[in-house]
Amino acid sequence: MSTVIHTEKAPAAVGPYSQAMDCGEFVFCSGQIPLVPATGLIVEGGIEAQARQMFANIQAVLNAAGLDFANVVKTTVFMTDLSQFGTLNGIYAEYFPENPPARSCVEVSALPKGALVECEVIAKR
C-alpha cells in the first residue's frame, strides 16, 4: 500500500497529483519546479536561482518522507534550454557530491508556469 507524502514546506501540487508517494522501500517524488512555497510564484533570478529553489523543494519533500539527497537513486531533469546545462550541472553536483544517482536530462519546449527547470526523483530507504 502507498502513502501520500505532503509538506507545506514545498509548493502545493498544481494539478491532480501528490508531492510524493511512499511505497515502502521506494519514494517516488513528483517533479518539482522552482515555485516559492509561500507565494506559489516562480523564484526570480534565472537558471541558478531556479535550480536552487527546485532543489530546496525536493529537499522539503524528501525530508517529509524521512529521507534526504543521499537516498536518491534516480533523477529526471527537464530543462527548457540545454545550453544552460553547465550551470545546472554545477548546482546539481552540490546536492549529490558523492555517489550521484542515475540521471536523465532532457530538453522540453515548455514547463508549468514558465519554469526553466524541473526535476523528479526516486529515493530508496
Show the domains of the chain with their CATH numbers. Answer: 3-9+17-124 (3.30.1330.40)
Q: Give the single-character DSSP code of 58.
A: H
pLDDT value for 19: 97
* Per-residue tens of pLDDT for the chain, all 125 residues: 899 999 999 999 878 999 999 999 999 999 999 999 999 999 999 999 999 999 999 999 999 999 999 999 999 999 999 999 999 999 999 999 999 999 999 999 999 999 999 999 999 99
Which residue among the candidates 23, 29, 105, 119 is catalytic per the annotation?
Answer: 105
pLDDT value for 29: 98
With contact defined as beta carbons under 8 Å apart, do 36 and 10 qualify? no
With contact defined as beta carbons under 8 Å apart, do 84 and 78 qualify? no
pLDDT value for 123: 98
105: annotated active-site residue: yes
> Quick one: which of 14, 35, 40, 31 has its CA closest to 79?
31
Helix 46-64 vs helix 85-95: crossing angle, to nearest 10: 30
Lookup: cell for 51: 535550480
